Amino acid sequence: MSRSLDTYVTLGRSGLRVSPLALGTMTFGTEWGWGSEEQVARAVFDKYIDAGGNFVDTANVYTEGHSEELVGKFIQDRGLRHRVVLATKFTFNADPGDPNAGGNGRKNIHRAIEDSLRRLNTDYIDLYWLHAWDTVTPVEEVVSTLNDLIRAGKIRHYGFSDTPAWYVARAKTIAEKEDKDGLIALQLEYSLLERNIEREHVPAAQELGLGITPWGPLAGGFLTGKYKQKGDSGEGEGRLEIAKNAGNPIFQRFTARNWEILKVLLDVAKQINRPLSQVALNWVVTQPGVTSTIIGASKLSQLEDNLRYAEFEIPAELRTRLDEVSAIEASHPYGFLTPPFQGWISGGTGLQPWSAARTYAPPAREVFGAKAAAAE
């Protein structure tokens, strides 16, 4: 069931209450060659708040720090600091050439939090995200450092973004074993184009009591339909066009598989008389395990359109079409989770998997689509 912005939900197994849509502010500022000037960014911020939203997400590297400055200014101007759930991130390097100005080690985390607090003009962060796994810092150091920040009153909670599920599980387990505050949420890419978190992260989050906060539900604007296929690539006005040759995989959306998904989305949206963006966003928000989905907008009209995502439900038969065209492959070892193998394991007794009693136990059709289901 879709939810309006002022239908607040707790983020993971915590007491932090957030809106089902979070306002992403990567578009606040034009330093990256796209985004919005201060006046437009303020209008987007005000519209989100006035609609009942309370969850604002930024990062220390967004538009070279300008995003944090604008978010801090907008919150202060309206006297909203205690009402807004403010989230920012650390990890990416702030001073090329200095190896300790990036990563997830204690030295960089302390540097990053002080810089973010200054730019945001606040004494504390409600939710501090590890932005990405740096592949080297021991998880014990990360958990210990973030606990120190909670004890110092500089952050209230923390979460992990773009991190392997095994690392997440170790962090949560170590925190529980050592009686420390554990992470409460995961921020991960999730859309009709990118569903790989269904393999490990969604089950892990539900087992460990973590909220899932997807980013990129519209795949950088690809799922709005504003880009058109051109040969083996595509074209249109927006960040995907500007950055398609930049080498950043996040912006490499013009693939044969993605165009096929877009065709089905176009047909589904036409049948229910809704814009593509609303249908794509509705699909993500109503997926199992999702708590609060991050949306961004460089124009007020984009935000206004996205806020209408909760006015409808996708009919089951049309949702099945979206599920099947976007399904991920049943790669090893996930094929062993499908009915033939599970039947051999249970001896044909019909034993329910451990997850059957949980909130969500994804059957093969939902995880891998028609190919795996055909083997049932």
Is 124 among the residues known to form the active site? no
Which distant-in-sequence residues (6+ apart) come within 8 Å of 330 by Cβ? 338, 364, 367, 368, 371, 372
Catalytic residue among 62, 128, 227, 309: 62
Instruction: Quote the CA–CA distance of 67 and 38 in Å, as a whole number.
Output: 10
Instruction: Quote the CA–CA distance of 131 and 161 in Å, as a whole number.
Output: 5
Known catalytic residues are: 62
